[in-house]
């Protein structure tokens, strides 16, 4: 397995957005297995050590749905969550999964978390043979809160490669796990298996930063800057 951190365009000076762009070459994982791992919400609980809660809310089309995800952040940062519209597209032996943040009236921001924004996040899986693939991970995220830019950049540079390594490790174990857990259930491949309620597009809107409450994390910033200077 080879993980590369790819160069990314510089964000505006005052922007608190992270831009992550990583590429991983896997010599021992077929593309279709990695695609299954990235879709399988039940299996995510097995490998994603940062997850607090994750579930599908509803479907829009046979290849688009809306879901919720919340995750732990390194102390002393507050935990984050997102509501995203996800779409996917198999292209022969290659696959694309993309998402961006949306607003849903039944899932407003929580008081105990900071609602982050996925501006555009996704995976591209390219088959390189029967048991080999390349995974490209792209994430442009606004973590919200009042974090300094250096904290956002430092976190993204550390976390993205770790996430890819976890995905690779999870992919190696997925086939054995799936044989014991609804082996034929893959609604991302077989839309007729999808029992999620349909969501009218009129119930959704793009989640914009200016519509979210600004969370004060000044005490967190002071602590981080102190630790960084030590």
Average per-residue pLDDT for the chain: 85
**Beta strand spans in the chain (E):** 2-5, 18-26, 51-61, 64-71, 80-91, 94-104, 114-115, 117-127, 133-142, 204-206
Q: What is the pLDDT of residue 9?
A: 46
Q: What is the pLDDT of residue 223?
A: 54
Compute the distance between CA of residue 101 and CA of residue 89 in angstroms, rounded to an integer. 19
Compute the distance between CA of residue 161 and CA of residue 167 in angstroms, rounded to an integer. 10
Q: What is the pLDDT of residue 157?
A: 65
Place of tokens 């491949």: 189
Residues of the chain with pLDDT under 70: 1-20, 146-158, 213-230
Q: What is the pLDDT of residue 4?
A: 54
Compute the distance between CA of residue 67 and CA of residue 65 in angstroms, rounded to an integer. 7
Compute the distance between CA of residue 115 and CA of residue 73 in angstroms, rounded to an integer. 13
Place of tokens 């879709």: 39
Q: Say if CB 108 and CB 207 are below 8 A apart.
A: no
Handedness of CA 148, 150, 155, 160 (dihedral sign): positive
**Count of CB atoms within 10 A of residue 99's CB?**
23
Pairing of strands 51-61, 80-91: unpaired
Q: What is the pLDDT of residue 15?
A: 45
Pure H helices in the chain:
31-39, 41-47, 149-179, 218-229
Domain boundaries, the chain: 18-209
Domain 18-209 homologous superfamily, CATH: START domain (3.30.530.20)
Nearest CA-CA partner of 57 in 209, 192, 185, 195: 195
């Amino acid at each position: 397995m080879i993980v590369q951190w790819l160069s990314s365009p510089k964000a505006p000076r005052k922007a608190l957005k992270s831009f992550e762009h990583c590429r991983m070459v896997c010599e021992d994982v077929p593309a279709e297995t990695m695609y299954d791992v990235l879709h399988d919400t039940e299996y995510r609980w097995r490998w994603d050590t940062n997850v607090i809660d994750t579930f599908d809310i509803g479907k829009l089309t046979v290849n688009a749905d809306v879901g919720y995800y919340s995750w732990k952040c390194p102390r002393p940062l507050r935990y984050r969550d997102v509501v995203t519209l996800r779409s996917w597209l198999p292209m022969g032996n290659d696959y694309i999964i993309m998402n961006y943040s949306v607003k849903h009236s039944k899932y407003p921001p929580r008081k105990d978390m900071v609602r982050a924004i996925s501006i555009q996040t996704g995976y591209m899986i390219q088959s390189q043979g029967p048991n080999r693939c390349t995974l490209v991970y792209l994430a442009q995220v606004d973590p919200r809160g009042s974090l300094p830019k250096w904290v956002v950049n430092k976190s993204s540079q550390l976390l993205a490669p770790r996430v890819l390594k976890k995905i690779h490790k999870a992919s190696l174990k997925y086939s054995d796990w799936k044989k014991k857990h609804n082996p034929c259930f893959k609604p991302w491949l077989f839309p007729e298996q999808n029992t999620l309620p349909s969501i009218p597009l009129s119930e959704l809107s793009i989640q914009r930063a200016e519509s979210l409450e600004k969370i004060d994390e000044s005490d967190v910033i002071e602590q981080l800057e102190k630790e960084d200077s030590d």
